[in-house]
Structure 1
Amino acid sequence: MLKDILRSKGATFKASDDIPLNPNPKVTFDKVTESRYEQRAMPKEAISARAAADRRYLWEEVSHGVDETHHVAPGYSAEILIRWGDPVFADSPPFDPMNQSAAAQRKQFGYNNDYLGYIGLPLGSDNPDHGLLCVNHEYTNEEMMFPGIGRQDNKGFADMTEELVDIELAAHGGTVIELKREGGRWRVVTDGQYNRRITGGDTEMEIAGPAAGHYRMKTSADPAGVVCIGTLNNCAGGITPWGTYLMAEENFHHYFGGILKNGHPEARNYRRCGVPSDWCAWPKFHKRFDINAEPNEANRFGWVVEVDVFDPNSRPKKRTALGRFKHEGAEPIVNSDGRVVVYMGDDQRFDYLYRFVSEGRYSPDDRPANMDLLDSGTLSVARFYEDGSLEWLPLVHGEGPLTAENGFYSQADVVIEARTAADMLGATPMDRPEDVEPNPWADKVYVMLTNNSARTADAVDSPNPRGPNHFGQIVELSPPEGNHTAERFTWELLVVAGNPKYSESGAMYHEATSENGWFGSPDNCCVDARGRLWVSTDQGPNWMKTGNADGLFGLETEGDLRGYSKMFFRTPIGAELCSPRFTADNGTLFVAVQHPGTDGTEHFPGFERNSTFEDPATRWPDFTEDMPPRPSVVVIQKNDGGEIGT
């Protein structure tokens, strides 16, 4: 088992989402009716000309396919901006994949770039030519990073040394780096004053909010329960209106080992989170990742972390008021009354959609007053109804079942065990809620539901209409009169992913969508400066079900073209496309290409085996024999210098 994990870490890592941990994965309202699903079908009016279907997304579509490199629509450039191992500082050592060290990695760009956030410089500007790029580094693929680890005779973790584990810890976390566009070309400014590496192994984090100092957060290294070392498995994230960077900790359970017994003080909590997983060698060398040596350490992960990017010496803060679960993202919006609302998905099959509403109000001209807004407010979980409404259920200690009789003695217990609290409130189990993006131009919220192969046909409901669900769907939420703090919203399906050519798939798009425009497993999304929705996909090792590598799609959300999808960018074999991010003028699009050459390479015609450091399915983006494939950020621009997609 461990040998297989190390030989194909990416595929096995993704497969963990196939194991539901919700003890109550059934619907929480009357079973869905056929008429409910049918009334949300796409318009059937014929589109007489392709041009009519291109009104808001003007480019020649990229074709479906799979090969060793990336592809972007004709008329655009897609250049590598920064890769794993590239310098972050002026004194960063050059990257040598055969002679890596933790010390070097702490000064180099980390592995598996996921979330991308852009903040214009100076602070408060929308400068499209000079800014800070904030990048999450989600996880590591040992078999692709290190020589010898992926070889066929490897025996479990036997070849993983303490030094290699420390390199992994240094490759996690995040990077903040200055960028400039000069003469139409973007470059990394390695001597930027705000450049920073945040790592899993040595960056001190402050624990803030209701769980700070609670006994369940205390460890032998931190008896006060207020300082944590590192942040791990940062997937999507967000940028606040006051110019800070939110890092969302997702699959933190992978890093913890040991045997969970019934007498363990966190047994209920850890089972609900999948702790331990014994997927890493880390507990062998760092006892804080052994759940018996440090029974509370895993409680210190699974949070949203806020980073003040304009103070590179500041301690990032784990904002515990936003709850502890497998966070996919944390994209905020300022409500009309000034309160800050953060939408979050819990990325596991049959888990939930959450919302946080701050108690305090945003002050546009007083940044210091905003810096702790995320420490106090109301965390809620969503319950969907058959009539197209949604109710936000507050997770507040002392209300409903969230009392001492059920193991909740304070709000700290509620946020630490947010999943269990949501179970007791009767939230709606969803098909892997990943990125959740508010659209301030349209007063909508888009929820990416990636897939759920574990959902059975007798357990479907309105927002999760298929079982098993291999391709995912997108749900659109509508806050009443644009009030993101309202107790009730309405909702409807925007698209149901998969191939619409086959009626049995249940796929649902606008009929003008071409054979290259449909997709599987929506994951991340963004809304550009014109209010258009862009969707990136993460099919994992199951890309062969669509026959297409992951990519980026423009998706129409309004008018008679609602549900029309069009492909713009495609990744190399085995990669996932993460976190599209535009500059304010729509002139530049940054995308993150993660784990190239890993997922599903055994199905890649002509290769048909698992990738390793020595024998990868692609050597993207360098394509030289001395370099393994490297996760990279790609910068996309229109060749004529105009707006993307116009």
Structure 2
Amino acid sequence: MSSQLHPDSALEQTDECSNPSANPSFNDVLEQRQLSRRGFLKSSVTATAGVTAVTVLGGTMVDALTRYAQAAPAPLGGIGFASVPANVVPMTDAVTVPAGYSARVLVAWGDRLGAGAQWNPADPMDEATQLQAYGAHTDGMHFFPFPGAAGNVRGLLVSNSEYVDPPLVHGIVPASAYSSATITLDMVRAQQAAHGVNIVAVGKDLIGRNHGAWKLIHHSPYNRRITGNTPCEVRGPAAGHPLLRTAADASGRRVLGTLNNCAHGHTPWGTYLTCEENFNGYFGSASTFDRTAHEARYGLNAGGFGYRWHEADERFDLNTHRNEANRFGWVVEIDPWNPASTPVKRTALGRFKHESAGVVVGPDNTVAVYMGDDERNEYVYKFVCARKFDPKNRAANRNLLDEGTLYVARFDADGSGTWLPLVWGQNGLTPDNGFADQGEVLIKCRQAADRVGATMMDRPEWVAVHPSTREVYLTLTNNSRRGNTPASGNQPDGTTAAASANPPVDAANPRPDNDFGHIIRWRENMGSTAATGFAWDIFVKCGDQATTKTLGGSYTPDGHDGYLGNINGDDYGAPDGLWFDPSGRLWIQTDQAGDGKGDWVNIGGNVMMCADPSSGETRRFLTAPRHCEVTGVTATPDGKTLFVGIQHPGEDWSVSPTDNSTWPDSGINGPTTASGLGMVYKPRSGVVAITRDDGGVIGA
């Protein structure tokens, strides 16, 4: 597909005018450093205590606090596989896993979910077919096991369908012809139906001819699609706010659909959190659009990402329905176990380009949700629920995400950090500065974070939390504007257009032109999920050990370290997806062009890595087909089946949809998908199920 329609690619192409800044990111940093683990522990103790040795239960207060800040332990069972080679040019159009493992396609775009006929990919997709079929462009996912031992062989796989490639949906060739095609409402409805969330029952074939293989359970009553037109309820402080009201919904409490569902989260009370990311790309205007500072801050513009929905569906016309865009950019809670339930947009968690929502329950049952805003120069957030999780009463947790405090992070150069509250009436969040109430603080969350002085980050994406230590890891995928000149930052008054500033390097984002990205991690003071302070370090700066990147002339040289990459294992770049398995292995998925060219000639295509968070050792577990992203990973409770998403194989095609890839129907990668058509018409996103041939735990 055309790269201009890929949401993340579009981010890197947005070069709006820079604004001079009165609030630059760490302009006063005199020394850039990556904290060692020892330094991280020391700063953790200092930030946590500010005390000297005080006797506590036969030890000292410092000893006790150090235990809170100790390094994550090595994963149970270690990392027990040999790395697969990088998928370099000429690339293999397949999913490759280590010797002793098997990867089989479980489901792909267009595979039927019920008893209906299987879609033929040679045909254009229509709304009626898509509503009964697996959605496009798989992203974040979670496996909800059935109760008891059955959960290792049967459960609900809930996954996001982030976006679509319109020419693939409608069979328009070449891809460039879509920009001049006549757009009809039927076309728009088909695309909207391919977005959203898939809830599908899956299980192992225990009696059939494919004994032991995972398959869809087509007759399950749990199977359903949540799409760009599914009614959603709005809850929390912004529900009913004037900025959420439209002609079709005067109450501001009922929204049609969820869009650009990127990564996700899941709650201990058994619900799924889907995160709305690049919603701005679906809106546009055929006439002059004089956008406000608020609209510019969220990247809204007349052209959008080229979907052209506004030409046939007036809901997405920026001039006709000005508030409709405010109804997207939220975390949406879904109960997969209740097919009659209505998805709920939880406004207390703030409105921005949500990438993921990592839920943590503290020792005292306090719940925190960690989130990243996936755009260059945006922020990291934490929401702390006002009420505590009740493990004995699922119903009592139903609206837990509606009340609490939203914070945004400031990362200081000494390795300490502060959670800054985004509370109306505090820290300049007042009517004089454009915030009439808490609802407006949440709707204009980016401007609120600008006002309180949060740290601008290099595209904060997925969050993963260690299963025993609660140490939080976050991928920072890239930032081509970091260290560019002239230097600028997000204005405190919230008037900076999205992704337009040129922040200087700082301690938490130490590289100019950071196309390889890095992973940051932190520990809350005293191990408390409700803490307002934390200690942080950089887990890894990604890159290529074999070739030194050349820095462009417009960038300041500060922080340029050769981009040498991971010094303890295999190279990778542009980290995106992130997940801890129950044994403590950190799985890292990447999102770069996927063609093995330019800065990626040695790293090759996209991958899934496995890391030891204690030692930093990292091995390449999976390489992907051509021109695709690896995104979404989850497992059965016993760790013996891993589900992994493959998104947009063959992206950037021009003349034919199969220019760059024919996955998953190529046959290179073993059996074809559930369609069983045995013919290749177009590449399709999907999910693979990975098992060990000896039946063991994945990765051990």
Q: What TM-score comes out, normalization by structure 2 length? A: 0.83
Q: 2:483 aligns with which of 448, 452, 456?
A: 456
* Superposition deviation, residue 442 in structure 1: 2.2
CA contact (8 A) 1:509 1:564 kept: no
1:583 to 623, 630, 636: 636
Q: CA deviation at 1:500?
A: 2.7
- The alpha carbon displacement at 1:93 in A equals 4.6
Paired letter, 2:525? P
Q: Does residue 76 in structure 1 map to residue 71 in structure 2?
A: no
Residue aligning to 1:469: 514
Q: How far did 1:31 drift?
A: 4.1
Which AA in structure 1 matches 2:608?
Answer: L
After superposition, the C-alpha distances for 1:62-103 in whole angstroms (9 at most, x for unaligned) are: 111232222111110000000000011223553444142110
Structure-2 separation of matches of 1:185 and 1:224 = 48
The structural deviation recorded for 1:331 is 1.8
Aligned to 2:82: 60
Q: In the alignment, what sits opposite 2:621? A: 568
| Paired position in structure 1 for 2:201 | 178
Listed one character per residue, the Cα deviations across residues 28-82 of structure 1 (whole Å, up to 9, x for unaligned) are: 3354445623757999xxxxxxxx9997211121111232222111110000000
CA drift of 1:622 comes to 0.6
Structure 1 segment 450-599 matched on structure 2, within 5 A: 450-456=477-483, 459-502=504-547, 506-507=562-563, 511-513=567-569, 517-540=570-593, 543-544=596-597, 545-547=599-601, 548-558=604-614, 562-599=615-652
Letter in 1 for 2:9: K
Structure 1 residues 19 and 390: alpha-carbon distance in aligned structure 2, compared to 1, 3 A threshold: farther
Question: Counterpart of 1:554 in structure 2: which amino acid?
Answer: C
Q: Does 1:643 align with 2:640?
A: no
The superposition leaves residues 418-475 of structure 1 with CA deviations (integer Å, 9 ceiling, x where unpaired) of 0000000000000000001111312200010000011116700011000011100000
Counterpart in the other structure of 2:665: 622
Shift of 1:11: 5.2
Q: Using the alignment, how far apart are the partners of 1:118 and 1:89 within structure 2? A: 19
Partners in 2 of 1:110 and 1:134 — Cα distance? 11
User: Are 1:10 and 1:598, in contact at CA under 8 Å, matched by a contact in 2?
Assistant: no
CA contact (8 A) 1:401 1:425 kept: yes
Given that 1:237 and 1:246 are in contact with CA atoms closer than 8 Å, whether structure 2 keeps it comes out as: yes
Identity %: 39
1:146 and 2:191 aligned: no
User: Residue type of the partner of 2:33?
Assistant: R
Query: Does the alignment pair 1:128 with 2:152?
Result: yes
The answer to whether residue 227 in structure 2 is matched with residue 199 in structure 1 is yes
SS in 2 for 1:329: strand
After alignment, is 53-62 or 63-72 more displaced? 53-62
1:612: how far off? 4.9
In the alignment, the residues of structure 2 paired with residue 593 and residue 428 of structure 1 have an alpha-carbon distance, to the nearest angstrom, of: 32
Matched-pair contact (CA < 8 Å) for 2:83–2:98: yes
- Aligned pair count reads 612
1:15 maps onto 2:10 in alignment: yes
Check whether the contact 1:148–1:613 (CA below 8 A) recurs between aligned residues. Answer: no
Q: Displacement, 1:302? A: 0.2
Separation in structure 2 between the aligned mates of residue 41 and residue 493 of structure 1, nearest angstrom: 12
Partner of residue 464, structure 2: 437
Q: Partner of 2:495 in structure 1?
A: none
How many angstroms does 1:638 deviate by? Answer: 0.4
Deviations 1:236-292 (A, max 9, x none): 00111011110000000000002797976xx12211000134321100111010111
1:541, CA displacement in angstroms?
6.0
Aligned to 1:605: none
What is the Cα-based RMSD across aligned positions, in Å?
Answer: 2.6
Superposed CA deviations along residues 477-532 of structure 1, whole A, max 9, x for unmatched, are: 1112321210100000000000134566544666441xxx1101000110001111
- Structure 1, unpaired ranges of 5+: 1-5, 44-51, 600-609
Q: Secondary structure at the match of 1:270?
A: helix
Structure 2 unaligned regions, length at least 5: 41-73, 207-211, 488-503, 549-559, 667-677
What secondary structure sits across from 1:405 in the alignment?
helix
The match for 1:119 is 144
Note the C-alpha offset of 1:145.
3.0
Task: Say yes or no: does 1:304 pair with 2:331.
Answer: yes
Letter in 2 for 1:642: G
Q: Are 1:314 and 2:353 an aligned pair?
A: no
The answer to which of 268-277 and 283-292 deviates more is 268-277
Residue aligned with 1:116, SS: strand
Question: Structure 1 residues 427 and 188 mapped into 2: Cα distance closer, same or farther (>3 Å)?
Answer: same
Partner Cα distance (2:182, 2:680) in 1:
22
CA displacement at 1:310 relative to structure 2: 1.4
- How do 1:298-447 residues align onto structure 2 when only pairs under 5 Å count? 298-447=325-474
On the 8 A contact 2:156/2:200 being kept in 1, the answer is yes
Distance 1:263 1:187, change over 3 A: closer
1:221 is the counterpart of 2:227: no
Per-residue displacement from partner, 1:87-123 (whole Å, max 9, x unpaired)? 112235534441421101001000001011111113x
Query: Cα distance, 1:232 vs. partner?
Result: 0.2
Amino acid at match of 2:639: N
1:338-396 alpha-carbon deviations (Å, 9 max, x no partner) = 12111000000000000011011111111111010001111110000011011000100
Instruction: Give, in whole Å, the separation in 2 of the partners of 1:370 and 1:410.
Output: 26
Scaled by the length of structure 1, the TM-score of the pair is 0.90
Distance 1:642 1:178 in 2: 23
- Could you tell which deviates more after superposition, 141-150 or 81-90? 141-150
In structure 2, how many angstroms separate the alpha carbons of the residues matched to 1:409 and 1:373? 25
- Partner AA of 1:78 in structure 2: A
Contact 1:53/1:564, CA 8 A, preserved across alignment = no
Q: Deviations over 1:594-627 (max 9, x none)?
A: 000015xxxxxxxxxx345544311111125542
Equivalent residue, structure 1, for 2:553: none
Matched letter for residue 134 of structure 1: V
Q: Is the 8 A contact 2:76 2:583 kept in 1?
A: no
Superposed CA offset, 1:393-413 (max 9, x none): 010011111000011011110
Report the more deviating stretch, 357-366 or 621-630: 621-630
* Structure 2 SS opposite 1:143: helix
Per the alignment, residue 491 of structure 2 pairs with none
The whole-number CA distance in structure 2 between the counterparts of 1:411 and 1:177 is 37
Q: Return the match for 1:280 from 307, 310, 326.
A: 307
Provide the C-alpha distance between the structure 2 equivalents of 1:484 and 1:506, rounded to a whole number of angstroms: 37
Query: In structure 2, what is the Cα distance between the partners aligned to 1:413 and 1:451?
Result: 30
Alpha carbons of 1:39 and 1:315: their partners in 2 closer, same or farther (altered >3 Å)? Answer: closer
Closer/same/farther in 2, CA of residues 236 and 92 from structure 1, 3 Å limit: farther
The answer to which of 171-180 and 456-465 deviates more is 456-465
Partner AA of 1:618 in structure 2: S
1:580 to partner: Cα distance: 1.5
Q: Secondary structure at the match of 1:379?
A: strand
Cα distance, 1:260–1:121 mapped onto 2, change above 3 Å: farther
Q: Counterparts in 2 of 1:163-174, with a 5 A limit?
A: 163-174=186-197
Given the alignment of the two structures, is residue 633 of structure 1 paired with residue 687 of structure 2, yes or no? Answer: yes
Offset, 1:192: 1.1
Letter in 1 for 2:686: S
Q: Secondary structure at the match of 1:175?
A: strand
The residue that corresponds to 2:317 in the other structure is 290
